[in-house]
């Protein structure tokens, strides 16, 4: 089992989660983070750190977010690892909770 970053991270991209990850499994894209499923050790440390509640255990993933299993696996192979917290976007709070953001994902 692994953890999965879901749609609510898009355009929020808080990085609180990367600070607590003991295996550096987070990867950063232009407006989204992903978790490498091959590196994730299911430690559960990242999930409560996400201010946008965008990280789920694969077993608890909402049905409408299942496509993010593949998105995390795919993009973690091409995006660089992120290990330190960065400032979030100025408008991150405005995007938190907005639906239908998948089309805004920048690859």
For 51-64, what is each residue's pLDDT tens digit?
999 999 999 999 99
Q: Please indicate, yes or no, if residue 19 is contained in any of the structural domains.
A: yes
Q: Please indicate, yes or no, if residue 97 is contained in any of the structural domains.
A: no
Q: Please indicate, yes or no, if residue 68 is contained in any of the structural domains.
A: yes
Residue 62: CA count within 13 A, CB half-sphere: 9
CATH number for the domain that contains residue 11: 3.30.70.20
- Could you list the residue range(s) of the whole structural domain that residue 17 is in? 3-82
pTM beyond 0.75, yes or no: yes
pLDDT digits 0-9 by tens, 18-27: 999 999 999 9
Domain total of the chain: 1
In degrees, to the nearest 5, what angle opens at C-alpha 44 toward C-alphas 40 and 47?
A: 100
């Amino acid at each position: 089992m692994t953890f999965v970053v879901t749609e609510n991270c898009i355009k929020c991209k808080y990085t609180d989660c990367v600070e607590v990850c003991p295996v550096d499994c987070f990867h950063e894209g232009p407006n989204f983070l992903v978790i490498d499923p091959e590196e994730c050790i299911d430690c559960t440390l990242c999930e409560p750190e996400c201010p946008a509640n965008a990280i789920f255990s694969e077993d608890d993933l909402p049905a409408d977010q299942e496509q993010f299993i593949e998105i995390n696996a795919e993009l973690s192979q091409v995006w660089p690892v992120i290990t330190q917290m960065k400032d979030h976007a100025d408008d991150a709070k405005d995007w938190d909770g907005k639906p239908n953001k998948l089309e805004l994902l920048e690859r």
